[in-house]
Amino acid sequence: MQCDICFRTGGHKLPFLCPTDARNQLYELRVQTAGVHLEKDALDREISRRYPIPLSKAGKHGNEQSAAVTQSNYDALITERQRSIDRTNQIIAHADELKANLERAKEERNKKRIANDRRKAELTSASKGIEARRAKQIEAVEGSTQRTKYRWNQTYDFIGESRAYLCYESANLYGLQRFKGSNGGDEYRIAGVNIVDLRLMNTASPAQVSTSFSHIAHVLMLATYYLAIRLPAEITLPHRDYPRPTIFSLSSSYMHTNVPFPGGTSSSSNSPSTSRYTENTYQPRPRPLWINKPLPILVNEDSVAHSSFLEGAILLAYNVAWLCKSQGVPVGDSDTTSFEDVCNIGKNLWKLLIGDKPRLPPKSRSESPSPTPPKTLDSKGYVESEDKTIQKPGRSSIGWASHGSAFSFLGSAEGAEFIRGFKLPRPNQMADILKNKLMSEVANAEWELLSQDAWAIEDEMRSDGVVVGARNEGHATFDTSKERDYTAGMQSFMSMRTVMDAVEMVGEGTGINAVIAERLPFGLANVTDKDRRERERYVRAKAAKDKDQDKKPGTSGWTKLKPRG
């Protein structure tokens, strides 16, 4: 039925808003209740028909039952009515709340609309001329950045000059010099000791090799300290319980602590706890930078020490070449560095620390006023020259790259790319080449080329295998002198047996170095006139004893040096 208040058709699915809706809501329930009562009456009649009761009792029971049914129905209706009223009140309160929220939402929407209109007007007024202001601000920031980079470049140039000058002064204090040798080529010395080319170490004395390597290691570490560079192969200088310098391989460098001196143990490492600790931990093996015996003798007596020393010498030369490359100093004449270029340690060290151009001391920062940045600068802070052919400052000066500053850090991606372009040979390959070269010289020392007058009595070859050079240069012809100049390099070798015999002939108190100095032209000291006369008398005596021996045909000037015994 239709409600006369809200004009809605009743139904149990629609929420009721008025008493008519509530009545409509209860209508179906009432119909169902009536149906139940009808069924109950039918059942009562059926029961009464089948099981009749006495008349007196039936009347009394029927009156009581009807009274109970009437009271229960009334109570249920009252309860249902109260529930409907409560539900209606809740719905009305919720509707009022929704209306209030709707009004507040409308007010908030109006406020936001007004605020958006105001901000839009402000944005429109502020956007006028924003491109010009933005370009001006960007230009100011870029100009400030370029001036800052310019000051950084100037400051770092001053730092680089100071580093280069400190290296130059340290090399001068160590006496690093270049001079013309007897053969007309350039030779180098440090602290009064000639720097040995690695390819010529067979003809150098142990004292010369060890002393020059020790001085090179000291001045190289001093230069790396000034330049703030970490060398690829770590060098350990002498200190307490570590009397001589050593060098580590590339893979073992900077990966250890408290490595004992090779060939000896300190007093602190003799305790049982320390011994057990060293047995359980890996300790890298440093390569020595010294020798106590000439290389031809050392290779026969201790091949392991010989190989270890050659590795150390190559690593030291590799460090010098790597440092030259890192500072823009060329090693060799071409872009690709060869084995021969790396072996010339003296030349590379002199070019790095001294160079052809003199280095003036840098001005102090207090004396030189801070330069005013020019108006035209590029993005890197360098001056933009009007002539585009003028090159900008490059990275070829000593002191520009280091591991101790962020300006040109060698550990960065750019620095790593720069290091990969050095094109240096690998140290292990160079060590194998050097070892094969020196071993071949020792093997070929059994054969020596004799000049045409080598069989004369005045210039007889001694029976112990040492070639005595010609002493009558004043009476020799031009051709003979030219031939002797050609064979001068051949006479600098001696056989291994000869060296061992020289050791046996020396009495107590005379070392191997003294023997080599006395019997060879490349010894530790120059031979005096008295020693030369004694040697000549000895040669003449031996020549008179063996003068009946004739030259064997078929050797073309080459003869096998036979050892004694």
Q: pLDDT category, 482, cuts 50, 70, 90?
A: very low
Residue 231 has pLDDT above 80, yes or no: yes
Give the model confidence (pLDDT) of 527-563 as tens digits: 445 555 555 665 566 565 555 444 444 444 444 444 4
Q: Are residues 111 and 231 in the same domain?
A: no
In a domain, 339, yes or no: yes
Last residue of a domain, one of 76, 93, 126: 126
Greater model confidence, 98 or 562: 98
Domain that holds residue 122: 19-126
In a domain, 10, yes or no: no
Q: Are residues 101 and 245 in the same domain?
A: no
pLDDT at 103: 94
Greater model confidence, 456 or 432: 432
Q: Are residues 116 and 155 in the same domain?
A: no
Q: pLDDT category, 473, cuts 50, 70, 90?
A: very low
pLDDT at 232: 93
pLDDT at 323: 92
In a domain, 418, yes or no: yes
Q: Are residues 47 and 160 in the same domain?
A: no
Q: Among the listed ranges 82-86, 92-96, 181-185, which one has the minimum average pLDDT value?
A: 181-185
Q: pLDDT category, 373, cuts 50, 70, 90?
A: low
CB of 193 closer than 8 Å to CB of 208 = yes
Q: Are residues 68 and 214 in the same domain?
A: no
pLDDT at 403: 87
Element (H, E) at 143: helix 130-173
Residue 491 has pLDDT above 60, yes or no: no
Q: Are residues 105 and 58 in the same domain?
A: yes
Amino acid at 51: Y
Q: Are residues 337 and 235 in the same domain?
A: yes
Buried b (16+ CB within 10 A) or exposed e, 374-386: eeebeeebbeeee
Residue 156 has pLDDT above 60, yes or no: yes
Q: Are residues 228 and 373 in the same domain?
A: yes
- Tell me the C-alpha distance between 321 and 422, whole Å: 9
Q: What percentage of the chain has pLDDT greater than the value 90?
A: 32
The SS3 assignment for 190 reads strand
Residue 263 has pLDDT above 80, yes or no: no
In a domain, 273, yes or no: no
Residue 13 has pLDDT above 90, yes or no: no
Give the model confidence (pLDDT) of 109-136 as tens digits: 999 999 999 999 988 888 888 888 888 9
DSSP 445-476: TTEEE--GGGGSSTTPPPTTSPPPPP--GGG-
SS (H, E, C) 537-564: HHHHHHHHHCCCCCCCCCCCCEEECCCC
pLDDT average, residue stretch 501-514: 38
Q: Are residues 216 and 358 in the same domain?
A: yes
DSSP 526: P
- Taking 3-state DSSP, the helix, strand and coil percentages for the chain, each rounded to the nearest 5, stand at 55, 5, 40
pLDDT average, residue stretch 510-520: 38
pLDDT at 237: 94
In a domain, 132, yes or no: no
pLDDT at 381: 52
In a domain, 207, yes or no: yes
The closest alpha carbon to 560, from 445, 458, 483, 482, belongs to: 445
Q: Are residues 303 and 407 in the same domain?
A: yes
Greater model confidence, 556 or 301: 301
pLDDT at 383: 58
Q: Are residues 66 and 214 in the same domain?
A: no
Greater model confidence, 353 or 491: 353
In a domain, 422, yes or no: yes
Last residue of a domain, one of 98, 126, 154: 126
pLDDT at 127: 83
Q: Among the listed ranges 9-18, 54-63, 214-223, 433-442, which one has the minimum average pLDDT value?
A: 54-63
Greater model confidence, 98 or 20: 98
pLDDT at 277: 44
pLDDT average, residue stretch 439-443: 85
Give the model confidence (pLDDT) of 54-68 as tens digits: 655 555 555 666 556
Q: pLDDT category, 378, cuts 50, 70, 90?
A: low
Beta carbons within 10 angstroms of residue 51's beta carbon: 7
In a domain, 265, yes or no: no
pLDDT at 12: 60
Q: Are residues 91 and 50 in the same domain?
A: yes
Structure tokens at 74: 């009334």
Q: Into how many domains does the chain fold? A: 3
355 by Cβ neighbours in 10 Å (0-12 / 13-18 / 19+) ranks as middle
- Tell me the C-alpha distance between 360 and 314, whole Å: 33
pTM of whole model > 0.85? no
Greater model confidence, 427 or 536: 427
Residue with tokens 């100093």: 329
